[in-house]
Amino acid sequence: MTETRFADLPAELQEHYLNMQDDLYDGAKDEVVEATRQALEWGQGPGAILAHGLVAGMDIVGKDFGAGILFVPEVLRAANAMKAAMEILRPLLTETGVPKIGTAVIGTVKGDIHDIGKNLVAMMWEGAGFEVRNLGINVDADKFLAALRETNADILGMSALLTTTMPYMATVIERLTEEGLRDRITVLVGGAPLNPAFAEDIGADHYCKDAAEAVDTARKVMQLRGGARG
């Protein structure tokens, strides 16, 4: 049920992360939160805790969900445990000594309520110096456009976790074009079922496979745009 991707870590930490994955799988929120605190006390960074404990655990949940071994209530409990742990990591992921480098709007597209990955991207963008307007889940084109206008954003980030909702990203991009905003907003898309070819097909500027890539890409976008503004 567990996964090891950290053979180079001390045995005690490996066991800690394997237990954390088990607790996440079981939706044991208090235990996952406590394990997150413990790992921080041992000097583990948020990136390692996410990768070895939380995301690794959620990957197993996803596989068993897909295989019909787990069902929505269990997956929801695992997701809630993950979200509680992410709240512990939030201050570390969002703390930033760097000046503001740009403004981003992000949301999970209409019809889709998956928000863990999108929230991770939002936190890490904040940590990289972006002012982020996180619109939440089930966001339609009108709401994206209104937020982009209000914030005068540089970047739009869209997330979709379902094959049935990812095409809605194209609808949002079409609306950007129709309303004359497309040229001044860089569109980044991500989510498990997407790939670079899909991003290109719908006219997005970049596909980001994970939150770290979303940070790197957004930073590069701002460099190309000529640095910080406003």
The residues binding ligand B1M (CB under 6 A) are 55, 58, 61-62, 65-66, 72, 75-76, 79, 111-118, 120-121, 157, 159, 161-163, 188-193, 208, 210-211, 214
Closer Cβ to ligand B1M, 13 or 54, answer by number? 54
Nearest to 189 by CA among 132, 82, 109, 73: 109
Q: Shortest approach of ligand B1M to residue 12 CB, angstroms?
A: 25
Q: Shortest approach of ligand B1M to residue 23 CB, angstroms?
A: 15
Closer Cβ to ligand B1M, 58 or 173, answer by number? 58
Q: Shortest approach of ligand B1M to residue 55 CB, angstroms?
A: 5
Closer Cβ to ligand B1M, 62 or 167, answer by number? 62
Backbone torsions φ then ψ of 103, nearest 5 degrees: -125, 135
Q: What is the DSSP string of the chain?
A: ------TTS-HHHHHHHHHHHHHHHTT-HHHHHHHHHHHHHTT--HHHIIIIIIIHHHHHHHHHHHTTSS-HHHHHHHHHHHHHHHHHHHHHHH---SPP-EEEEEEEBTT----HHHHHHHHHHHHTTEEEEE--SSB-HHHHHHHHHHHT-SEEEEE--STTTTTHHHHHHHHHHHTT-GGG-EEEEE-TT--HHHHHHTT-SEE-SSHHHHHHHHHHHHHHTTS---
Closer Cβ to ligand B1M, 10 or 114, answer by number? 114
Handedness of CA 128, 129, 135, 140 (dihedral sign): negative
Closer Cβ to ligand B1M, 16 or 206, answer by number? 206
Q: Shortest approach of ligand B1M to residue 95 CB, angstroms?
A: 19
Q: Shortest approach of ligand B1M to residue 64 CB, angstroms?
A: 8
Q: Shortest approach of ligand B1M to residue 43 CB, angstroms?
A: 23
Closer Cβ to ligand B1M, 135 or 211, answer by number? 211
